[in-house]
Structure 1
Amino acid sequence: MTDIASRVLIPVPATPDEAGDRLDKWLAARLPELSRSRIKALIEAGQVGLDGATIADPSYRVKPGQTARVEVPPDAPATPEPQDIALVVVYEDADLIVIDKPAGMVVHPAPGSPDSTLVNALLAHCGESLAGIGGVRRPGIVHRIDKDTSGLLVVAKTDAAHRGLAEQFADHSLERAYRALVWGLPNPAEGRIEGAIGRNPRDRKTMAVVSHGGKPALTRYRVMKSFLAGAVSLVECRLATGRTHQIRVHMTSVNNPLVGDMTYGRVRPSRMSRLPDVQRQALQAFPRQALHAYLLGFRHPTQGGWLRFESAIPSDISSLIKILEAV
């Protein structure tokens, strides 16, 4: 076995006596260099497979003869470093800060993105007051939006604010809305998408609506405008839950994937072929998922009172909309 800090392959055949053991318990016994909590986190992150299939449920019962494959990613740096990176600050007080994040910025350091993240910028902006709030690797972070999603997120600057905001995210009492360009015209024009979201059993790096092992998820949507005779639509999506890639996965599940989403949004060539050249080329060239977190509302975690913020659709999406309208 190579250094446990690197990505590794660990074959672990199950014996007949181990049949029926929980997956996390079984692996913890076989891999004493990893704690059971670490193994559970790896399973839930889609880093563990059995006989070639990803298993994201730590309570899965193993069967005799099954072989496990465990991938342990390198640890992120223990303490992110402050970096002088410009931020769009929408609101700030002694307890929290609301940022309008640009597309392309990762929220916190992780394997593959060790620096130049929002956390690095926040440490420089807020100084020592932020360090350690909610954990040294993700100081102040209460929620995330994807690297290539733009828009609003709130960061805690004190432990009390972190606890108060985390409670609101846990009980889904915040107001969060996104605007997105999607393929097709959702039917009905206003509705809800329900479906548990978990690791895609066919590709552990992606999420999917799953029948077993996922977490309940609910997205409400409404069509704001359609373009090109319904080939593309601008929709508003409101989150009742906050699962990884929720809007992207849910809209794909109803055959309305996001424009520009190379993970979930690939479209059939026939869908493209009917479009005018200028609009087709603009849609094909759009470099990210066309998703913007435009609305964020929450109760101030220490002072009380409702705070509500809106962010204009960024220039790349608004420019694409203008091209779609020019027909």
Structure 2
Amino acid sequence: MAERLVFIVAVSATDSRLDKYLSLQSPISSRSRAEYLIDSGLVTVNGKPAKASYKLKIDDKVEVDFPTPKSTEIKPFDIPLDIQFEDDDIIVVNKPAGLVVHPAAGHENDTLVNALMAHTKNLSMKFGEDRPGIVHRIDKETSGLLVVAKNDSSHQHLSDQFKARSINRLYEAVCIGEPKQSEAKITSIIARHPNDRKRFASVKDTRGKIITTPTDDITIGKIAITSYKVLKSKTTASLVQLKLFTGRTHQIRVHMSELGHPLLGDKLYSTAAASKKIAGEMKLETDAMNRFLLHAKVLGFIHPKTEKEMNFEVDWSTQEKAFIQKWFP
């Protein structure tokens, strides 16, 4: 049976957007979850379907129906998994570059989720989506660490940590050029690119300046915060460490591109001018890897059941590690 949640809007939530309001309610706890439920027609306000942008009024009755789990529709895909840790509640996996995290158009049966389904029958299905166990995601071409929930309780506990920004996520990347500042924090509001649906971009004001502080009149996008530190650099490219405080789609790629230093190998966010800086042997080796160089190296969180702090670290794969050691000795 589907689970129904009922919320009565208080005075303090008057004029809030429906999606933002739901993202603050447990067990939804994220904007993406709220948007999924609204888009799926599983949310009503006063008995009628409502858009994500609906502005709530005092005493509005918001009802949410969670769908029946659809795990049986996902086909197992038996490929080796690089599991760093597993118990009855979580799995920590090192995802290789080139593997999509969950089923989507063009990748229905060959994703990490399909591989997890072949590995275990115990995965969280809290929201009844085609994403069992998936608490957070990284791009197809990004390699590195992910934590997967094996039950609904663990999923909720981990989701709360992501929402509270208490998860420690450190990435390494190679970017084109050399940032002027050796370390800095980047803050913006990231939304779909206005002209290219495949890309994301920071929201700008009427003068074309990137907006760094959310206001009530900004109705699109989500706050995105990234810090970076240059580890090693040369004129053509730099090895950087990045810390995610939020987890927006393409966040690191967007921020580094808008900084003027797109990730090496990132065909979607790189510019012609930036790409020209990479030539000769470095270009040949970059093309051979057929990916952008971004790696989720460190992941730290509180175990959802034992409450113990857990920290994991994985290195780049062999080819990428050799490339980095060669160009950034």
Scaled by the length of structure 2, what TM-score is found? 0.72
CA distance in 2, matches of 1:247, 1:115: 27
Match of 2:146 among 144, 150, 153: 153
Q: CA deviation at 1:79?
A: 1.9
Matched, 1:304 2:310: no
CA distance in 2, matches of 1:39, 1:239: 26
CA contact (8 A) 2:125 2:151 kept: no
Match of 1:90 among 79, 84, 90: 84
Match of 2:226 among 219, 224, 229: 219
SS at match of 2:198: strand
CA distance in 2, matches of 1:167, 1:269: 38
1:184-195 matches, cutoff 5 A: 184-195=177-188
CA contact (8 A) 2:232 2:328 kept: no
Unaligned runs of 5+ in 2: 1-16, 20-34, 41-50, 56-69, 205-217
SS at match of 1:182: strand
Provide the aligned C-alpha RMSD in A.
2.7
CA distance in 2, matches of 1:309, 1:134: 27
Matched, 1:248 2:253: yes
1:70-109 matches, cutoff 5 A: 79-109=73-103
Structure 2 equivalent of residue 168 of structure 1: 161
Q: CA deviation at 1:235?
A: 0.2
Q: CA deviation at 1:188?
A: 0.7
Q: How big is each residue's C-alpha offset from its partner over 1:6-31, in whole Å with a ceiling of 9 and x where there is no partner? A: xxxxxxxxxxxxxxxx9x9xxxxxxx
Structure 2 residue identity aligned to 1:298: F
CA distance in 2, matches of 1:154, 1:184: 32
Match of 1:183 among 176, 184, 187: 176
CA distance in 1, matches of 2:124, 2:186: 38
Percent identity, aligned pairs only? 44
Q: CA deviation at 1:205?
A: 1.8
Structure 2 equivalent of residue 261 of structure 1: 266
Structure 1 equivalent of residue 31 of structure 2: none
Q: CA deviation at 1:313?
A: 1.5
Q: 1:270 to 1:316 in 2, by over 3 A?
A: closer
Q: 1:267 to 1:77 in 2, by over 3 A?
A: farther
Q: How big is each residue's C-alpha offset from its partner over 1:230-258, in whole Å with a ceiling of 9 and x where there is no partner? A: 21000000001110000000000100100
Structure 1 equivalent of residue 105 of structure 2: 111
CA contact (8 A) 1:248 1:264 kept: yes
Q: 1:286 to 1:125 in 2, by over 3 A?
A: closer
The range that moved more, 236-245 or 211-220, is 211-220
1:122-141 matches, cutoff 5 A: 122-127=116-121, 129-130=122-123, 132-141=125-134
Q: 1:81 to 1:199 in 2, by over 3 A?
A: same
Structure 1 equivalent of residue 5 of structure 2: none
Q: How big is each residue's C-alpha offset from its partner over 1:281-313, in whole Å with a ceiling of 9 and x where there is no partner? A: 323444111000000000001110100000012
CA contact (8 A) 1:134 1:141 kept: no
Q: CA deviation at 1:266?
A: 3.4
SS at match of 1:198: strand
Structure 2 residue identity aligned to 1:304: E
Structure 1 equivalent of residue 66 of structure 2: none
CA contact (8 A) 1:77 1:114 kept: no
Scaled by the length of structure 1, what TM-score is found? 0.73
CA contact (8 A) 1:78 1:136 kept: no
CA distance in 1, matches of 2:117, 2:146: 16
Query: What count of residue pairs does the alignment treat as equivalent?
Result: 260
CA distance in 2, matches of 1:309, 1:255: 31
CA distance in 2, matches of 1:98, 1:159: 16
Q: CA deviation at 1:214?
A: 1.4
CA contact (8 A) 1:258 1:290 kept: yes
Unaligned runs of 5+ in 1: 1-21, 25-36, 43-56, 62-75
Q: 1:269 to 1:291 in 2, by over 3 A?
A: closer
